[in-house]
Amino acid sequence: MRIAIVAGEASGDLLGAELIRAIRACRSDIEFYGVGGPKMQAAGCDIVESSSALAVRGLTEVLRHLPRLFRLRGQLVRRFAADRPALFIGIDAPDFNLGLEKKLKRRGLRTIHYVSPSVWAWREDRIKTIGAAADHVLALFPFEPALYAKAGIAATYVGHPLADAAPLASMREERRAQRQFARDQPVVALLPGSRVSELEMHAELFIGVARKFHSAHPAAHFLVPLVNRETRMLFENTLYRVGAEKLPLTLLYGHADDAFTAADVALVASGTATLEAALYRCPHVITYRVGGFTARWVRRRLRVPWVGLPNVLAGRFIVPELLQEDASVENLAQALLNLYADGLVRDELEELFARLHTALRQGSADRAAAVVLAELGLPARE
């Protein structure tokens, strides 16, 4: 039996890999193939196209990639329709996957969409689109299934895999000792994004903030997790271009968890990394920049006053957000310096993050695997 699967970006690759392992732990006779990254490949998925092909953001930024994306989607529709896999699973990447799922569903394939699009934040009208595309939605957050139930769409809360991976106890002292940081040395994590387009928008901004912070705290060290060679090269090139190559920083290949665990504070581009920062108990400042047209379009449709996942889950501002025109070097540096200086606020944030972690720790891969097997009408064991 074969399952076709398409995952977008690094976070989707992680979700896909964990799901594949959980399903194969129950049913070793199931094979997977489709679009994914190195983690899914290591889990046993036959990769026919890299998930990096879907890593595009923003309205104007997407336009120049549309012909290529349409061609890819058409190729996948033809291949999956011809192969007739037992099930199709689209992981995140809703702008790509929902269209793909809809076409496959019309051709009689069962479809699951893993990771609910943020219909609670903006574009609520997408619920109807999701219903036309997916037979079942796997939701990462506890408030999401109720939204789908109102529209008559099957949805199951499975928890968040990052919450399962993160340790419940803080490991800051151990991690700092491993990296030979002094107990009182300021350590800052910088996460400018996982996509090349995000680095193009954020690299110089984040470096400017690091310079300001370093001027105030000369002993500070910066940890910069970057997901691949392209983003690392872009960040390094920016360092040299702006003359900041002497900043005391360490570039990491991935390992955002290590950076968050060791850091006192972090500056994080809005996205899944903000949730990861919370799960690893790291107080942080959230920022993001997109093109002006994209920003205006999103603002008109935004249904909540926050964009960072910790704030969404808390239902209030617990983490500072500085976006678009507010995301200047001066504003972000001051927010980061203020957060570092206020130990009481950081302690309170860590307590809030611990409660959030407990709520999201559900054994998500196993719960998602159970839904997939039920959709296939299979018992949990061979």
Residue-level pLDDT at 52: 76
**pLDDT computed for residue 126 by the predictor:** 81
Answering whether pTM is above 0.75, one says yes
pLDDT at 59: 47
| Helical (H) or strand (E) element with 140 | none
Dihedral sign, Cα of residue 164, residue 187, residue 242, residue 209: positive
What is d(CA 35, CA 190) in angstroms, rounded to the nearest whole number? 29
Q: Report the pLDDT value the prediction gives residue 18, as an integer from 0 to 100.
A: 94
Burial (Cβ within 10 Å: 0-12, 13-18, ≥19) of residue 297: middle
To which H or E segment does residue 315 belong?
none
CATH of region 2-159+362-376: 3.40.50.2000
Could you check whether 2-159+362-376 and 165-360 share the same CATH topology?
Answer: yes
Averages of pLDDT over runs of 10 residues in the chain (382 residues) are 91 91 94 95 94 62 70 94 97 92 97 88 76 95 91 94 89 91 96 92 97 98 94 96 96 93 97 94 95 66 78 92 95 98 96 94 95 90 67
Please tell me the distance from the alpha carbon of residue 65 to that of residue 60, in angstroms, as a whole number.
10
Contacts of 224 (CB under 8 A, 6+ apart): 189, 190, 191, 192, 206, 235, 249, 250, 251, 252, 259
Residue 8: closest CA among 92, 67, 87: 92
Residue 313, number of CB atoms within 10 A of its CB: 20
Mapping DSSP onto H, E and C, the string for 192-217 reads CCCCHHHHHHHHHHHHHHHHHHHHHC
The SS3 of residue 32 is strand
- Cα–chain center distance at 260: 15
Q: For 165-360, give the CATH class.
A: alpha beta
Whether 263 and 187 have beta carbons less than 8 Å apart is answered as: yes
Domain boundaries, the chain: 2-159+362-376, 165-360
> How far apart are the C-alpha atoms of 197 and 219, rounded to whole Å?
31
Query: Which structure tokens are listed for 369?
Result: 């695997």
372, 111 contact by CB (below 8 A): no
> CB within 8 A of 345, min separation 6: which ones?
283, 339
Q: How many helices (H) and strands (E) does the chain have?
A: 18, 13
